[in-house]
Amino acid sequence: MGYWIEPLADEADLDGVLEVEAESFTNPWTRDMYAWEMRNRSMCHILLVRTDQCRVAGFCAFWRVFDEIHINNLAMRPGFRARGIGTALLERVLSEARQLGARRATLEVRASNEGARRLYERLGFYVAGVRRSYYTHPVEDALILWRDEPELC
Ligand SMILES: CC(C)(COP(=O)(O)OP(=O)(O)OC[C@H]1O[C@@H](n2cnc3c(N)ncnc32)[C@H](O)[C@@H]1OP(=O)(O)O)[C@@H](O)C(=O)NCCC(=O)NCCS
């Protein structure tokens, strides 16, 4: 399937991101939360996956904080999953992070989210800690993952 990855551009893109959120998470981020992100573009970055048929097939939202990126959300619409696109999107995020001067990346993932955990582990993330009962709907532990640039290991 043909697709491309580019930064979020406008409010219509935000509508697409909110749809993907609703299709992917039990407690999705709200429009107000993303409006804050869009007002803080020096720190907040959102990359979209587009196809000819779908304006927003998936997205990743992350913050760059000094030499780290904090990946807040990563999701593909259900019909676009398991085709390698989520991996390509995360690889692109890590590449952009390097260009922004980041040397480490972190994120949280539900302990039971085996598909996402496999993806992260394949790209070099490791479990560094646990936040007990961090998630709601349902209540569940979060694993705290980190990834260091290989040349710094
Ligand atoms: C996690 C997610 C972004 C991965 O995107 P994707 O495009 O499906 O990823 P890929 O096709 O590159 O596959 C990555 C890995 O996840 C696995 N995977 C993808 N979808 C899966 C699913 N529905 N169930 C189980 N495993 C799945 C793939 O098998 C692959 O692992 P493998 O190659 O070792 O078998 C996507 O599944 C998604 O949006 N999930 C819901 C939201 C979510 O959980 N986000 C992560 C929050 S931390």
**Could you tell me the domains of the chain?**
4-152 (3.40.630.30)
Would the pTM count as exceeding 0.85? Answer: yes
Ligand 1 centroid distance, CA of 83 (Å): 9
Strand, helix or coil for residue 67:
coil
Using the atom order of ligand 1, give the atom closest to the CA of residue 107: 48
- pLDDT tens-digit map of 131-141: 999 999 999 99
pLDDT tens readout for residues 69-102: 999 999 999 999 999 999 999 999 999 999 999 9
Single-letter residue type at 95: S
The response to whether residue 97 sits with its C-beta less than 6 Å from ligand 1 reads no
Q: Is the CB of 7 inside a 6 Å radius of any atom of ligand 1?
A: no
Yes or no: say if 28 and 78 are a contact pair by the CB < 8 Å rule: no
Indicate the pairing of strand 126-135 with strand 4-7: unpaired
Q: Which of 26, 76, 80, 83, when mutated, tests ligand 1's pocket best, judged by the most ligand atoms within 8 Å of its CB?
A: 76
